[in-house]
Amino acid sequence: MHITKRGFRGLLTLAATGALVAGLSACSGGADAGSTGDAAGGDDVVTVGFVAVGPEGGWRNANEQAIKDAFTKDAGFDLKYAPAASPSDQKSQLDAFSTFVNDEVDVILLTATEASGWEDELKKAKEAEIPVILLDRGVDAPSDLYVTRIAPDNTQVAKSVGEWAVTAFPQGANYFVLEGVPGLSVVNERNEGFDSAIAGKSGWNKVGAQTANWKTDEGKSVIETVLKANNNDIQFIFAQNDEMGIGAAQAVTAAGLKPGTDVKIATIDGTKGALEALAKGDLSFVAQYNPFFGTDAVDAVKKALAGESVDSTIIVKSATFDSPEAGQKALDEGLGF
């Protein structure tokens, strides 16, 4: 008797006592019955639908490549990569997700372009007994509709930026925040983390906040306007990713000011470009948002398909770099991406 991958997944869900699994083994006489792929202990390939963001910057490129490198054919997977039509196009993601459900893939990996609007699709996946694992970004949906979210702790990473800023400016500062794409969970979490670190500290004056869509050129343009509007009276800029922070440094230089001296800039991600800028003194603080969690994703998929428990949140460890020397050391150790 041959049991399909989807049939086996459903039986695993039902077999709390293990009796059904034992029965399947007895009637099959071989590995065919339990074959959810090499990754789950069998011979067939596990089909993985990856609803991705696609090209968006250094961090996203590194993260999605890490997933591709982990879910290889040699490891027992067939990864179906479906990037969004653009980094903010949710419709193409919803369409890809629906297609994966209809195609009866074994598991879906999701990095959402928007936090809202996913509940109906997640319900369909659950009804089809297809586990969903969130990568990086969270969604506004009940947690029982997905297995886990794997990501660095955005709130804690941003809090580390705020804690450093408080020590760098003991008397406070006029500051501006360059935000990512509106509506994303990571944007809200990074704001929450940073705000919690400076809450109640005297002398901190928020001049404003504006999206620069994770882009260097937009970060430069926004900060050029902000500096002119405030007669260059900005001491600190918190950029929610490296590219926007590098653009801010360019704007500071264009205004006749010295980055790192007249205006300090802190960023999140830890790309090679940011570490180089930190080593030069153009950036003052870089908080790593570790993109390399392909192994964590593989482990979660294996457990989900085997019917094992998975933590509802899997935190990826990250680091911080607070000086030119730290930036250069990180580069020497190959930590940039």
Confidence tier at 321 by pLDDT (50, 70, 90): very high
pLDDT tens readout for residues 138-148: 999 999 999 99
Residues 196 and 326 in one domain: yes
Residues 263 and 134 in one domain: no
Residues 68 and 159 in one domain: no
Residues 160 and 109 in one domain: no
Q: How far apart are CA 23 and CA 179, in angstroms?
A: 55
Residues 87 and 182 in one domain: no
Asked if pLDDT for residue 11 goes beyond 60, the answer is no
Residues 176 and 226 in one domain: yes
pLDDT tens readout for residues 272-310: 999 999 999 999 999 999 999 999 999 999 999 999 999
Q: How far apart are CA 242 and CA 92, in angstroms?
A: 27
Q: How far apart are CA 316 and CA 15, in angstroms?
A: 31
Q: What is the pLDDT of the chain when averaged over all its residues?
A: 89
* 71 in a structural domain: yes
Asked if pLDDT for residue 39 goes beyond 80, the answer is no
Confidence tier at 27 by pLDDT (50, 70, 90): very low
Contacts for 21 with CB less than 8 Å, ≥ 6 apart: 11, 12, 15, 34
Confidence tier at 64 by pLDDT (50, 70, 90): very high
Residues 204 and 326 in one domain: yes
Asked if pLDDT for residue 319 goes beyond 60, the answer is yes
pLDDT above 90 covers a percentage of the chain that reads 85
* 123 in a structural domain: yes
How confident is the model at residue 42, as a pLDDT? 52
* 314 in a structural domain: no
pLDDT tens readout for residues 246-281: 999 999 999 999 999 999 999 999 999 999 999 999
User: What is the three-state SS of the chain?
Assistant: CCCCHHHHHHHHHHCCCCHHHHHHHHHHCCHHHHCCCHHHCCCCCEEEEEEECCCCCHHHHHHHHHHHHHCCCCCCEEEEEEECCCCCCHHHHHHHHHHHHHCCCCEEEECCCCCCCCHHHHHHHHHCCCCEEEECCCCCCCHHHCCEEEECCHHHHHHHHHHHHHHHCCCCCEEEEEECCCCCHHHHHHHHHHHHHHCCCCCCEEEEEEECCCCHHHHHHHHHHHHHHCCCCCCEEEECCHHHHHHHHHHHHHCCCCECCCEEEEEEECCHHHHHHHHHCCCCEEEECCCCCHHHHHHHHHHHHCCCCCCCEEECCCCEECCHHHHHHHHHCCCCC
* 23 in a structural domain: no
Residues 173 and 264 in one domain: yes
Residues 186 and 124 in one domain: no
* 73 in a structural domain: yes
How confident is the model at residue 57, as a pLDDT? 86
Residues 41 and 125 in one domain: yes
Q: How far apart are CA 139 and CA 200, in angstroms?
A: 30
Count of domains in the chain? Answer: 2
Q: Domain limits at 140?
A: 36-151+292-306
Residues 175 and 133 in one domain: no
Residues 225 and 254 in one domain: yes
Cβ distance 172 to 204 under 8 Å? yes
Is pTM, for the whole model, over 0.95? Answer: no
How confident is the model at residue 38, as a pLDDT? 53
Q: What is the CATH number of the domain that holds 102?
A: 3.40.50.2300
